[in-house]
Structure 1
Amino acid sequence: MDEDILRKLEERLGPLHARQRLGIETDHEAQIFGKGLLSFHIENWYPVHSVIRNALKLTGLYWRGRRNTGHILVKRNNIMFKELPPLFDGFTILHLSDMHVDMNDAAMQRLIELVSDVRYDLCVLTGDYRGKNCGPFEATLDGVARVRAHLKGSVYGVLGDHDTIQMVPGLEAMGIRMLLNESEVIVRGDQHIYLAGIDDAHCFKVDNLEKAVSQIPSGKFSILLSHTPEIYRQAADADFDLLLSGHTHGGQICLPGSIPIILDAVLPRRMGSGAWRYHNMTGYTSVGAGSSVVPVRFNCPPEITLHCLRWG
């Protein structure tokens, strides 16, 4: 552990959160490499990655699936809110998720081309910057920096289950404000909305929704960034108006009709991708701009999303 990174994390987050997250990461990595108990998960069993890759190559599907990772769609999601302050009518959020920047250079180059041409007011990143879920992260920071150089204005992010908290100083140094159970106020004229973000709730279980909402006044319009949509019940009960998330990849390898074979999340399938609603809260689950385990996609094209908030 780099002592300079530890010092910066303790200054930024306080020693408790920093050391807690680092300790959980260490235990998780030990479990992956056979030093503890770990329930089977395809992302953690690296020999399976080669098996899947070789099987796809034998069937002739691998290179088609790899080309598919570069066919990134620009999706537009218009959302009506009666509670939205009128000055934020038309406010547009660029949503990037699950880039896994070190998995596919060609896909990331295409992503850079796309984000350079779209117009938006704010950019949010909902985690999983790294390809693997342990190990070195320098290549990840380099890849994110290349994307960040083409993003305009303010950028906010949260960590995913593939990300180490050791990346936070590097991400913030390049101008990405990481929200780790924290919130920020977004101002337009004399009106404002609130943007909150939680640490990973899927694998590391270090989310603290109560802390994230503690500085948001009751009744104010608020948006929550979470890597996983699995906290939809808690978010709705906390009175968030909008939840933006990713994690699922929409299945990544799907049957015709975008029907996922595997959806790595405990939630209703209708929440596994795209727009959905739960009680009074609107949600959106991005299928992600990158790919995980094996850099292929079938019947589930990657995406970047422009959420346009409308008042009325």
Structure 2
Amino acid sequence: MPLLLTPALAGLATAAWGYSELTKFELKEVTVPLLKPGTLRGDKEFKILHISDLHMIPGQEEKIEWVSALSDLEPDLVVNTGDNLSDVAGVPDVLRAVGPLMKYPGLFVFGTNDYWAPRPVNPFKYLWGAKREPSYVDLPWRGMRAAFMEHGWRDATQARHEFQVGNVRLAVAGVDDPHHDLDDYADIAGVPNQDADLALALLHSPEPRVLEKFAADGYQLSLSGHTHGGQICLPGSRALVTNSGIDRKRVQGLHDFGPMKMHVSNGLGTSKFAPVRIFCRPSATLLRITEKAQ
């Protein structure tokens, strides 16, 4: 009997540890030299706060408090790459979490867990990398979108935007969630404005077929989430699967994608049906965009 109990107890201990990791939030920081010399006119950097995959469930007070406190970073721009919800009643807590961030300029694109509620997950299907069909149970995303926009955040879902923040002129394009083929790149295709200082590409899931088009059009930096950094990883945060078309080595963090830089967020939550993280803590990232060396 003890021999039979040992694997079960080890599994329970691992699950308990993985559950405890859900609130051990981390702030990652990376420096990316993308701007032409002189763009910042004496400023040190242009700060982009990248958040993703809140997967909010009512009552997640530690997450709300931690995300709210990110406003102290005083970012120049906030980018939210979707999957804000994991419950039909999650919108008020999403707005509590990001409320202090909405005093800064912001952009967002949505993922399928903004539109439709999560569904129970077969863990073996996840580990095999099989795509899971959405539940098609509607979430109240329209009200959340309206609240974001009323506070000045721009919806980059199937849209292009050009605007200036401080000394930096931005050209931004985004698509709807490509993981479930909701995107149509033709809507936003074409090179970014050549007068822009920084060209950003936004998408929820880092699907190579879309990233290739952004890179070919000349975007400098893509921002995405969806992968949860692998969520179930080996020591060293080495992902077992990516739940997307991106390779395991680029499932999280800053990488090259051809001539374009690509940042994939670990995300800040998980589906309420898979509340565990192994060697892959939830995180947001502060990207410090600097001038290139002369």
Structure 1 alignment gaps of length 5 or more: 1-54
RMSD: 2.6
1:140 maps onto 2:90 in alignment: yes
Query: Could you tell me which amino acid in structure 2 is paired with residue 253 of structure 1?
Result: I
- In structure 2, do the counterparts of structure 1 residues 215 and 80 end up closer, same or farther at CA, with 3 Å as the change threshold? closer
Look up the match of 1:251.
230
Look up the match of 1:117.
72
Look up the match of 1:101.
56
Question: Could you tell me which of 176, 187, 192 is aligned with 2:164?
Answer: 187
Look up the match of 1:157.
108
1:100-146 Cα offsets, whole Å, 9 max, x none, are 011771442343353143221111100111226xxxx3x12112111
Q: Is the 8 A contact 1:98 1:246 kept in 2?
A: yes
2 CA distance for matches of 1:144 and 1:57? 35
Q: Is the 8 A contact 1:182 1:213 kept in 2?
A: no
Look up the match of 2:284.
304
Normalising by structure 1, what TM-score? Answer: 0.73
2 CA distance for matches of 1:145 and 1:127? 13
2 CA distance for matches of 1:90 and 1:288? 24
Query: Could you tell me which amino acid in structure 2 is paired with residue 143 of structure 1?
Result: D
Look up the match of 2:142.
168
Look up the match of 1:30.
none
- In structure 2, do the counterparts of structure 1 residues 280 and 257 end up closer, same or farther at CA, with 3 Å as the change threshold? same
2 CA distance for matches of 1:166 and 1:83? 42
Q: Is the 8 A contact 2:234 2:279 kept in 1?
A: yes
1 CA distance for matches of 2:284 and 2:14? 25
2 CA distance for matches of 1:189 and 1:239? 23
Look up the match of 1:232.
211
2 CA distance for matches of 1:188 and 1:110? 27
1 CA distance for matches of 2:14 and 2:59? 17
Within 5 Å, which residues of 2 pair with 1:1-312?
59-83=12-36, 86-87=39-40, 90-102=45-57, 105-131=60-86, 137=88, 139-151=89-101, 152-164=103-115, 167-174=141-148, 175=151, 176-188=153-165, 192-203=169-180, 205-213=181-189, 216-218=192-194, 220=196, 221-230=198-207, 231-292=210-271, 293-312=273-292
Q: Is the 8 A contact 1:103 1:291 kept in 2?
A: no
1 CA distance for matches of 2:225 and 2:250? 10
2 CA distance for matches of 1:254 and 1:301? 10
Aligned residues: 252
Query: Could you tell me which amino acid in structure 2 is paired with residue 308 of structure 1?
Result: R
Normalising by structure 2, what TM-score? Answer: 0.77
Cα distance, 1:184 vs. partner?
1.7
1 CA distance for matches of 2:278 and 2:167? 47
- In structure 2, do the counterparts of structure 1 residues 123 and 59 end up closer, same or farther at CA, with 3 Å as the change threshold? same
Cα distance, 1:240 vs. partner?
0.7
- In structure 2, do the counterparts of structure 1 residues 58 and 80 end up closer, same or farther at CA, with 3 Å as the change threshold? closer
Identity over aligned pairs, percent: 29
